[in-house]
Structure 1
Amino acid sequence: MATRLKKNILKLLKEDEEFRYAVAGLIGLEEILKRLDSHEAELVRLREDMVAGFNRHDEELARLREETNRLREDMIAGFRRHDEELARLREETNRLREDMIAGFKRHDEEIAKLREDMIAGFKRHDEEMAKLREDMVTGFKRHDEEIAKLREDMNRGFDLLSRHLTAIGARWGIMAESAFREGLKGILEKELGLTVEKWSAFDESGVVHGYPSTVDIDISVRDGVAALIEVKSHLRRSDVAEFSRKIEFYIRKTGRTPDRRLIVTPYADAEALEAAEKLGIEVYTQV
């Protein structure tokens, strides 16, 4: 009977299209039901996983909430400390501002006093300078008067010297150069009251005579006026040039510049007078 039933079912499946579709639908529904059961079990597991996940999230959120609350409390406490610190800093800044204002005020007072002292000092300095200027002008005036008087005395002395030179020439005739120099120096000392001293130094470079040698120069100092004097019986241009070299040698050696440069001679060539004028040397022939 079972075999017959199976054959009949197979025959219906072949011959009856509607039956065939009905059987296929039944077979598909069963598969769907199986799948639905499987899906339901999967959904149950998924729900359990979601519940577990939500529980974990709730716990994590709770911890985050606790940490956030602690952070908020720490922030509030920190802001409170900052507010207190800012208040103290504001007080210190105010005190510092007051101290600075007081210090600037003291400085302004000190600067004002210093300015007054400086003005008073400059005024005293100007008065002292004015007095010093007056004293200098008076001193220069006295100095000029003394120099003028000295020039007059020297000119009078040179007049006397001229007469003595004429007498010497008439009495002894032509004299040796060295004897003439010594005689004329004696007259300068006696008649003019000039103290003539000899200054000597060794010229290593040979600037004066062209070779290393001892250089002698007559020096006279009166009333603070220093004069270098050269006495010649006959003055030539070469004598003027040599005396000029002696003067430069003296300045280089001593570091002092003479006030006057004098050549005393009873006779001078025209070229010698011209050279002396160019070199700033005074020549006395009518003495």
Structure 2
Amino acid sequence: MDDLKKKFLELLETDDDFRFAVMGMIGVHEILKRLDTHSGIMIKMQEQMAKMQEEIKAMQEQMIKMQEEIKAMQEQMIKMREEINGLRAAVGELRETMRANTEEIKSLKADVSFLKRQGSETRSLLGSLTEAVFQDKALRRLESIMSSAGESVVDIRYNAAIDDKEFDLLIIGSRTVYAVEVKVRHRRQDVDYLLSKLGLAEKEFKGKKVIGVLAGIRMTRAVKSYARGLGMLVI
């Protein structure tokens, strides 16, 4: 073994071809070792690149999904805008309708106010006509009563006032004064009101008998009985 080693060293010193051959072998071996090392690195790099490609693919899929979601959201936004525009248009129409209704209500209120005035005037006119009819009826009836009693009519006063009280009709005879209260419907308090005014007529027409008269359409039996019990006439 020592001889072989000695021979090997001599050849390295003396034989250039041998020396180059040995150096070549050593170089190839070193290269192969380095290639093995680089192959391991390359494999790791390839594995890392494959992993990165998978991650990139996953990210791309997420991006596609996100783009789809964004597109869906954009479509929803467009739909919402259309709905909002529709609602705005509807609100505008409602406002116009409300304005028109407000104007119509104002017009109707004016019409109602006018009709109320007309109704009030009509009721007042009807009241005046009714009062005139019953005044005339009472006058004719009382003139007949006075004529039958041999009494003449001295004066007739419509809506006459004594002090602060008003009488619908006063028929003044030679001996008697008839104080007439005209109403469509007489109630007990109306009888009492007429009774309270008769004292004023008695003071006004001293020496003459004052008789209260109720003229109207509707009067209950109780009211008629009450008035007659006080010495009044019911027509």
Fold conserved between structures, TM > 0.5 = no
Q: TM-score, normalised by structure 2?
A: 0.41
Q: TM-score, normalised by structure 1?
A: 0.35
